[in-house]
Structure formats: C-alpha cells, structure tokens
Amino acid sequence: MQPDSVWQAVLGEIEVSLSRGNFVTYLKNTTLEKQEDGLVVVGVTNPFIMQHIEKKYSDLLIATLRGQGVKVDRLEFKVISSARRPAEVNDTDETPQLVTRASGSGENENLEAGQISYRTPSSSFKQSLNERYTFDNFVVGDGNDVAFAACQAVAQLPGAKYNPLYLYGGVGIGKTHLIQAVGNALQARNPDAKILYIATEQFVREFVQALRNRTAATFANSYRSADVLIVDDVQFLAGKDKIQEEFFHTFNTLHQANKQIIMSSDKPPRDIAMLEDRLKSRFAGGMSIDMQVPDFETRCAIIQTKAESHNSELDPEVVEYLASNGQTNIRELEGALNQLLAWCDVRGLTPTVAIASSLLQVNKGRPKHLSAKQIIERTAKYYQVPLEDMVGPKRDKDIVVPRQVAMYMLHEELHLSYPKIARELGRKDHTTAMHSVRKITKESQINTDLRGAITEIKEHLYA
Ligand code: ADP
Ligand code: MG
C-alpha cells in the first residue's frame, strides 16, 4: 500500500474508536511524513496539537499502525505548515483511492484478495433477513399505515417509484419489521435476488475490518452488487466521514442502476447531525415517511395478534390494560405481554388485569437500583464534560445543557423532588431544577437530537 493509503486506513480505524470532537481536533489533519526502518514520522499542524497527540495517542497510533502491518520502533511527530494539509488541498480528494480500487482499476492484489475472501468470509458481508418479519404478521393502523403501504408498493415494484425509501421514527415502532418484510417478500418471489440487509453499526464494523484486512474492494463490491440494499438505523453514520464517503458511492452505484435502497432511521435525513449534505439530499430524494407509535386500537390489535401467535387468548380488559399502560413502543408492549404470558403459564393461571398491573409495577421499580450519582456521571460522560463542572458554578452553554438534562433524568428516572434535584447538582434554588426539567421536557418533544441523547443515556444506565 502507498504510505498515504496506509495512513488513511489508520485514521479510518481510529475515527470510529474516538469521540468525534477528539478525532477532528487532533487527528483528522495529520499526515504520514515518513516511514522507514521502523521510524514513523507523523505530520501535525501545530505544536499544541503535537504535544497532545504525543501524550494521549502515541500508543493508539503505534498499535493501529502495527495492525496495518507497518513496522514501528519509534514514533516521531513533526510540525508541518498547514498549507500542505491534504484536507486543505481538497477534502474530497482523499477517498477516490478506495473507490478506484473498489471499482477494480486493475490492481491485482485487490482483485485476488477479493476473490479469495468472497469464498471464505463473505458471509460476514451478509447479514441475513429474519424470516419472522413479514407483512402478514404486521398489524396496520394509524401511525404505521402510510409506511406499510409504501413498503408494499416497493415490494411490488422495487427500484421504480420510491427510491430510496426512508422510514423514520422512534424506537420499537416497527421500522426494522417493515423494511425486513419488504426484503422477505422480494426474496420469496425471487430466491436468486441478492437482497442485503445490514444494520448500520455492522456496516461500520465491516468497513473498519475491511480497511484493516485490505479487503476494501471486496467490501465495496459486495454491497455494490446487491439487487436490493436495506440499511437499518442510518443515523449511526453520523460523524463518520470515511464511512459516509464509502456509503455515498455505494448508494450512487445502486441508485443509478435502479436498484432499490431502503433505509430506516430515528430521524429525518435533515436532522441527522454530522451527516454530509450530499447524503442528506440523496436520502431525502425518494420517499421519506414518518412513523408514529400506533394508536390505542392498533396497539390492542397488535397485542391480540401476538397473544394468538402464542396460542393464548386474552381478555379484552387485559389487552386494553396493556395497550394503555405506559408502554411507549411496540417492543416494550411485546415485552410486557411476553412477561405476563410466561408468568401465568408457569403458574397455570389465566392472565388478569391485576396480575398484569402487579408485573408492570415491578418493572417500574427498576430505576430504584440507580443512584443520583450514577445518573449525573453518565450524563456528564455522554456530553464529555467533567463531573466537577456539572455540579460546579460554571454557567457556559456546554455545561448548562448537560446539567439540565441531568436534572431532567433525575426527575424522570428517580422521581426526586425539585429541592433534592437542585442539591444533587450543587444548586441552592429549587426553581432552577423546576425550570430545567420543564425546559428539557418541552424541548425533547421537538428536538430529535436531544431526544436521542436522552435515550442513549438511559440505554447506558440500564444496560
Ligand atoms: P424499530 O425498528 O422501529 O425499533 P422493530 O421493527 O424492531 O422496531 O419493532 C419492535 C417489535 O415490535 C418487533 O418485534 C416487531 O415485530 C413488533 N412490531 C412493531 N410494530 C408492529 C406491528 N404494527 N405489528 C406487529 N408487530 C409489530
Ligand atoms: Mg430497528
């Protein structure tokens, strides 16, 4: 490999393991100046950055370089003038390397690598569809009917009308189910079609692995030869430049060949922060559909259908109780139902509202295991602010918002009183806590980034 592509591979790998801010600030604009007899010289743009990289990232750089097969006995840094930075020459210039190689520009090494790994680990490039997700067992109602209709249309005539098809909405409302149902319907009609389903996190992992194993061409070809490409949770492309570049070319190749692309996300393309504009416009260039939590009647129908699939019959009262009781999405609803059925099954009891309610109460008790300290720490960690600043006097915006989110979480998860919340965050005045909780409650209804942040913090807390 050329020194530059070695370095691009190193950066690509490091990019996914560091926070976005750290990567951009310290490493994005570095270059590989020299690589000779075990000496590696890295070019950086200013002395301050150099010091920091040397202290914080030397080990990581050495390990990653070695992972790329580079001999490193000594790592040195050198300040170079910023005029020479590749990023300033032309930001889009970096990646065509990958692309040219991917399109088979005659580099034997890559073609061979491609052929070999096609046989052996090619299955790692393919995450198969789950047969459980079909149109037949999807209950249609208010909230998901438009998405359902669009998915059926695509399954009828892929690559024609809605390309790409992009479904978005909160967690557990049936996005994965629907996009896989399209894949399953198409595969059933045409068993030879190459229908690829991939979760974005998996795509990212494979991309990094392909860079490491120098099988980027195989990786690219594998996706670009799909007849239908289904990509779940594309919001996880956010902030990963190299992967976005790769995905952009994959998208174009398929789209130009009228191959159907289906995506899901937790928000509309325009709201995905740190996603390249050209991807946003591609994603929004077909059909985007907002999915909602299904309404009460639909939720009842879903519970009934799921109970039947377990060969259980539920009292309408119990169904309504489950459908109305705080479960904010279908996955949770399903979880509550399964728990109820299992509990009753083991004891030979018929499910009742009383049993259901006592089981759900137990669930609600779950946050008790959390302490206020854990919540504040986790929030601080998410926003990458020091804990002492969270509870300290600073009032800068980058501290105030995390602090408000922490207050909101204490309110939501621990049901603490406002004075107590204020004290936990080193505030004297309980009205501060009250205003913060109200503000975040209100804003999280309209700001998808904020909602995403809260969900992620919660997921970590309960993981
Ligand atoms: P998402 O991808 O939006 O997070 P999923 O597609 O994974 O949600 O759905 C969560 C669970 O709820 C799955 O088991 C799915 O089968 C089920 N589900 C969601 N909506 C429906 C529906 N309308 N009918 C039947 N099952 C549903
Ligand atoms: Mg999903």
Q: Which CATH number is associated with domain 89-290?
A: 3.40.50.300
pLDDT greater at residue 118 or residue 364: 364
Q: Please tell me the number of the ligand nearest to residue 167's CA.
A: 1
Q: Which class does domain 372-461 fall in?
A: mainly alpha
At 124, the amino acid letter reads: S
124 pLDDT above the threshold of 70: no
User: pLDDT tens digit string along 176-216?
Assistant: 999 999 999 999 999 999 999 999 999 999 999 999 999 98
pLDDT band at 20 (very low <50, low <70, confident <90, very high): low
Q: Which CATH number is associated with domain 3-79?
A: 3.30.300.180
Residue-level pLDDT at 84: 46
Q: What is the mean pLDDT of residues 369-389?
A: 91
Instruction: Determine whether the shortest distance from the Cβ of 208 to ligand 1 is under 6 A.
Output: no
Ligand 1 centroid vs 133 CA: distance in angstroms? Answer: 9
Share of the chain above pLDDT 90, in %: 53
Instruction: Determine whether the shortest distance from the Cβ of 144 to ligand 1 is under 6 A.
Output: yes
Instruction: Tell me if 338 sits within 8 A of 371, measured CB to CB.
Output: no
Share of the chain above pLDDT 70, in %: 84
d(CA 261, CA 227): 9
pLDDT band at 363 (very low <50, low <70, confident <90, very high): low
Instruction: Determine whether the shortest distance from the Cβ of 280 to ligand 1 is under 6 A.
Output: no
Q: Please tell me the number of the ligand nearest to residue 175's CA.
A: 1
Instruction: Tell me if 186 sits within 8 A of 155, measured CB to CB.
Output: yes
Residue-level pLDDT at 13: 86
Residue-level pLDDT at 93: 32
Residue nearest to atom 5 of ligand 1 (CA): 174
Residue-level pLDDT at 368: 46
d(CA 5, CA 78): 19
**Is domain 296-360 given the CATH code 1.10.8.60 in the classification?**
yes
Which range among 178-182, 209-213, 325-329, 382-386 shows the weakest confidence by mean pLDDT?
325-329
300 pLDDT above the threshold of 60: yes
Instruction: Determine whether the shortest distance from the Cβ of 249 to ligand 1 is under 6 A.
Output: no
Instruction: Tell me if 187 sits within 8 A of 195, measured CB to CB.
Output: yes
Residue ranges covered by each domain of the chain = 3-79, 89-290, 296-360, 372-461
237 pLDDT above the threshold of 80: yes
| Closest to 250 in 3D by CA, of 207, 286, 192, 289 | 207
Q: What is the mean pLDDT of residues 305-312?
A: 88
User: pLDDT tens digit string along 136-175?
Assistant: 989 998 889 999 999 999 999 999 889 999 999 999 999 9
Instruction: Determine whether the shortest distance from the Cβ of 164 to ligand 1 is under 6 A.
Output: no
Site of tokens 């991309």? 207
pLDDT band at 29 (very low <50, low <70, confident <90, very high): confident
d(CA 299, CA 328): 10
Bridge partners of 166, per DSSP, are: 263, 288
User: pLDDT tens digit string along 83-117?
Assistant: 444 433 333 333 222 222 223 333 333 333 323 22
